[in-house]
Amino acid sequence: MSTLKAQVFLDTERTLAPISPLLFGGFAEHMGRCIYEGIYDPASPHADARGLRTDVIAALREQAYTVIRYPGGNFLSGYNWLDGVGPKEQRPRRRELAWQSLETNQFGTNEFVEFCAAIDAAPMLGVNMGTGDIQSAANLVDYCNTPGGTYWSDLRASHGYPTPHNVRYWCVGNEMDGPWQIGHLDAVAYGNKALEAAKMMKWLDPTIKTVLCGSSSDGMPTYPDWDRTVLEIAWEAMDYHSMHYYAGNRANDTASYLASAVTFERFVDTLEGTLRYVKAKRRSTHDVYLSWDEWQVWYKGDPLQGNWTEAPHLAEEIYNLEDALVVAQWLNVFLRKSHVLKIACVAQIVNVISWLHTRRDALLKQPSFYVFQQVSNLARGNALDVFVKAPPVETPQYGAVPALDVSASFDPETQKTAIFLVNRSQTETVSTNIVWQSAAPRQIAGVTQLTGPDVKATNTYEHPDAVVPHPVAGVQMDGNTLSLALPPLSFTVVSA
Ligand code: AHR
């Protein structure tokens, strides 16, 4: 084993953009055991009087989520939101087509808003653009946000919620480019429907912010024409354009997988170009930003169909060290693209494609849980334009990529800096000098590393701390420089 050398240059004045707090969002869908047995589980010893899992709430609070998107996902496109409000004993049980499960509707819009309050996150609701019409979308805004004195707001009050929910963020459909979507539309049909829905929704509440469905991934045959077309039609009525992407190491090509940030950045760059093109073409003064409202590692092949059962085990991915290092890069990309990326929601927050798993009486935090927790709690203020000089590592898919993937933040109010560094090399320690080109901190508040020799290592209920961040002792500034040894396959967090 040899030691490679790298330098990371920081200047707290050399900023990219303010970091949107909404980059640390999550997604909760009526799929598998995300809602039922994840968030809501009256049979759990950890449930509160409302049936919400207090241990799950505590774990989500540790992760400092700022916004939660709900109720889907593919589920959204067959969902009648009226099924999920009002007295629970009168709510219908239905066959749910997206995941072929049995939906009891014991958890719905009002319970979701209460759950968001419990974790101190803003709700982000979706309106159904599959089987739903634009009237039903508008009715939901009226139900949630009108203070009172209308049919829909009075119905909300009669359900026990006299105070309006004031839901600010609204997704106008989900993945409408996908043939798998219930009520899938082509780009022109969806663009027109989304425009008309958003018009009505904003007439009812002009303070809301709307999210247009972008491509379901950069692998869609209609990408990026879908994005251009729907944006050209609905531009003025939209505030955000969605991106979805799931990463994976299907070929067991770890070198390429650990360079996933290249794909993430390309995806953002292409859509940023599309936004600029459409804004120019429309001669618009309005801006639309990106909302990466589904992102996660997902490829290990758990079932996706529930055989018409309640809360089936679907897509309960087990994440390992390499997955955590990919998540760390994803978050680095969010910071590096913070000028255009303003919302991001990890899919999903518990059990389904999630780093947090539940049993009826226990919780398991997988390695990437800690990566998200650290970044969401520390990245504040402005993203910095970091200059990285790092040796290359070779990858089959991308050729040579830098061994280090880095982002950093500086908060002018608190004067706090956070630096996030991934060493993608599978074999080499990278001896790294972090050099402050502006006033350097006198001391380092803390350094942690999440790493290990086995890229496939994970946490289990029996060994929950196998892959967790550990403090690095004896770290000191030398003038304007901090020297760190970054082990192979590691995520290092510096706070100063
Ligand atoms: O998050 C799981 C599913 O992935 C969502 O329902 C859908 O939007 C995407 O394809």
Tokens of 56: 């799950």
125 lines ligand 1 (CB under 6 A): no
- Do strands 356-359 and 362-365 pair parallel, antiparallel, or not at all (unpaired)? antiparallel
Task: List 431's β-bridge partners, or say none.
Answer: 5, 485
What's the CA-to-centroid distance between 317 and ligand 1, angstroms? 14
Ligand 1 mutation pick, 27, 35, 70, 74, max ligand atoms within 8 A of CB? 74
What's the CA-to-centroid distance between 354 and ligand 1, angstroms? 12
- Do strands 67-70 and 122-127 pair parallel, antiparallel, or not at all (unpaired)? parallel
| Three-class DSSP category at 240 | strand
Residue 292 near residue 226, CB atoms below 8 Å: no
**Shortest-distance atom of ligand 1 to CA 174:** 8
405 lines ligand 1 (CB under 6 A): no
User: How many other CB atoms are found less than 10 A from the CB of residue 456?
Assistant: 13
Task: List 6's β-bridge partners, or say none.
Answer: 432
Ligand 1 mutation pick, 174, 354, 355, max ligand atoms within 8 A of CB? 174
What's the CA-to-centroid distance between 74 and ligand 1, angstroms? 6
| Three-class DSSP category at 140 | helix
Question: Which residue stretches of the chain have pLDDT < 70?
Answer: 1-2
For ligand 1, atom 8, which residue shows the shortest CA distance? 73
96 lines ligand 1 (CB under 6 A): no
Element (H, E) at 187: helix 187-204
Taking alpha carbons only, the member of 25, 26, 41 closest to residue 363 is 41
Tell me where in the chain the CATH 2.60.40.1180 domain(s) lie: 3-13+384-495
Task: List 490's β-bridge partners, or say none.
Answer: 423, 451
User: For 332-370, how does the pLDDT look when each residue is reduced to its tens digit (9 = 90+)?
Assistant: 999 999 999 999 999 999 999 999 999 999 999 999 999
For ligand 1, atom 5, which residue shows the shortest CA distance? 73
Q: What angle do CA 438, 493, 248 make, to 5 degrees?
A: 125
Which residues are designated catalytic?
Answer: 175, 294
Domain over 20-378 is classified CATH 3.20.20.80: yes
Residue 161 near residue 112, CB atoms below 8 Å: no
User: For 15-42, how does the pLDDT look when each residue is reduced to its tens digit (9 = 90+)?
Assistant: 999 999 999 999 999 999 999 999 999 9
Tell me where in the chain the CATH 3.20.20.80 domain(s) lie: 20-378
Ligand 1 mutation pick, 97, 180, 244, max ligand atoms within 8 A of CB? 244
CATH code assigned to 3-13+384-495: 2.60.40.1180
293 lines ligand 1 (CB under 6 A): no
What's the CA-to-centroid distance between 223 and ligand 1, angstroms? 17
316 lines ligand 1 (CB under 6 A): no
29 lines ligand 1 (CB under 6 A): yes
Query: What pLDDT, on a 0 to 100 scale, did the predictor assign at position 301?
Result: 82
Query: What pLDDT, on a 0 to 100 scale, did the predictor assign at position 309?
Result: 98
Total-model pTM: 0.97
| Three-class DSSP category at 488 | coil
484/431 Cα distance (integer angstroms): 6
Burial bucket for residue 35 (CB in 10 Å: 0-12, 13-18, 19+): buried
HEC string of 374-418? HHHHHCCCEEECCEEECCEEEECCCEEEECEEEEEEEECCCCEEE
Tokens of 102: 């049995």
242 lines ligand 1 (CB under 6 A): no
**Shortest-distance atom of ligand 1 to CA 180:** 10
The 3-state DSSP composition of the chain as helix, strand, coil percent (nearest 5) reads 30, 30, 45
**Shortest-distance atom of ligand 1 to CA 73:** 6
Q: Which amino acid belongs to residue 138?
A: A
For ligand 1, atom 4, which residue shows the shortest CA distance? 73
74 lines ligand 1 (CB under 6 A): yes
Element (H, E) at 177: none
CA trace torsion 246, 252, 255, 256 (10° rounding): -40
Output the CA–CA distances (angstroms, integers) from residue 319 to 58, 71, 258, 356, 368, in the order listed: 21, 24, 14, 10, 7
Write the DSSP symbol of residue 133: -
Query: What pLDDT, on a 0 to 100 scale, did the predictor assign at position 452?
Result: 96
231/195 Cα distance (integer angstroms): 10
473/338 Cα distance (integer angstroms): 32
For ligand 1, atom 6, which residue shows the shortest CA distance? 73
Query: What pLDDT, on a 0 to 100 scale, did the predictor assign at position 28?
Result: 98
Query: What pLDDT, on a 0 to 100 scale, did the predictor assign at position 281?
Result: 98
Write the DSSP symbol of residue 320: B
Residue 420, C-beta contacts closer than 8 angstroms, at least 6 positions apart: 328, 331, 332, 335, 374, 375, 379, 406, 407, 408, 491, 492, 493
190 sits in the region (left: phi over 0; alpha: psi -120 to 50; else beta) called: alpha
245/21 Cα distance (integer angstroms): 20
- Do strands 387-389 and 3-10 pair parallel, antiparallel, or not at all (unpaired)? antiparallel
Query: What pLDDT, on a 0 to 100 scale, did the predictor assign at position 105?
Result: 98
Burial bucket for residue 465 (CB in 10 Å: 0-12, 13-18, 19+): exposed
Tokens of 180: 């798998």
Residue 450 near residue 23, CB atoms below 8 Å: no
Query: What pLDDT, on a 0 to 100 scale, did the predictor assign at position 247?
Result: 98
Residue 296 near residue 348, CB atoms below 8 Å: yes
Q: Which amino acid belongs to residue 16?
A: L
